[in-house]
Amino acid sequence: MASSSTSTAQAGPAEGDPAPDFSMPASGGRRVSLEALKGQPFLLYFYPKADTPGCTRQACGLQEALPQLGRLGLTVIGVSPDRLPAIEKFAAKYGLEFPLASDEDHRVAEAYGVWVRKSMYGKTYMGMERSSFLIGADGRVARVWRKVKPEAHAAQVMEAAKALG
């Protein structure tokens, strides 16, 4: 898939900033929110579309690392603009145990600065930038990854989560 991603000035939180508030429906009949995660570290990762090659590699890598991340006290939450039925199907197909949230109206993606102008084959459109935010137990952004490489991401998250202490 030949795509290049460009964006106008990226808004969204920087390292050290308070994490923007969110509340979204998620796979398995769950709901994820900043309020419910208060006092615990978590990874909020944004991916463009369920069950596509890059998103599948990223999700499966995080699923594989989940036991180790859990030992570090880290919760993982995936976010895409997909509707819940597509998200549920994706989670079931790959046995993804962590919540995958639906941000259909892009409100959360916009708050995190990851709903961006993209271009593919000469056409421009708005879409989700593959980005992740590691939020510390204090509710502040500890680490930001933009334009994530799916294959390497779980290892990057593991190192950063260890550094949280």
Whole-Å CA distances, 156 to 10, 118, 133, 138, 148: 22, 25, 12, 21, 10
- Kindly report the backbone phi and psi dihedral angles of residue 114, in degrees, each rounded to the nearest multiple of 5, phi listed first: -115, 5
- The active-site residue, picked from 55, 65, 91, 134, is 55
Residue 60 among the catalytic residues: no
Ranges of H-type helices in the chain: 53-71, 84-94, 107-111, 153-164
Q: For residue 24, what are the β-bridge partners?
A: 32
Question: Do 53 and 15 contact (CB within 8 A), yes or no?
Answer: no
Active-site residue numbers? 55
